[in-house]
Amino acid sequence: MPFEDAFNDHNLELLRRAGTLVYGSRWFSENWHSWSAVAADDTANDRDHEIAGNRHLDRFVRHR
């Protein structure tokens, strides 16, 4: 999907400059598993592997 490609390209550029990621607790729990699966998927493209592999960044998860 072309929009998804542009969106992920843009987000990858943001992630490359980030030092800390801030999440809401719902987003974190729902999406952590999805991106972990992408990281383990040998058929995923290089961009998505890089997005999924940003585990070196500090994270802050906000809980209500």
Can you tell me the distance from the alpha carbon of 55 to that of 64, in angstroms, rounded to the nearest whole number?
24
pTM of the model: 0.74
pLDDT in tens, 13-59: 999 999 999 999 888 888 888 888 999 999 999 999 999 988 788 98
Within 10 A of 51 (CB to CB), how many other CB atoms are there?
19
Helix, strand, coil in percent for the chain, rounding step 5: 60, 15, 25
Length in residues, the chain: 64
Can you tell me the distance from the alpha carbon of 14 to that of 6, in angstroms, rounded to the nearest whole number?
13
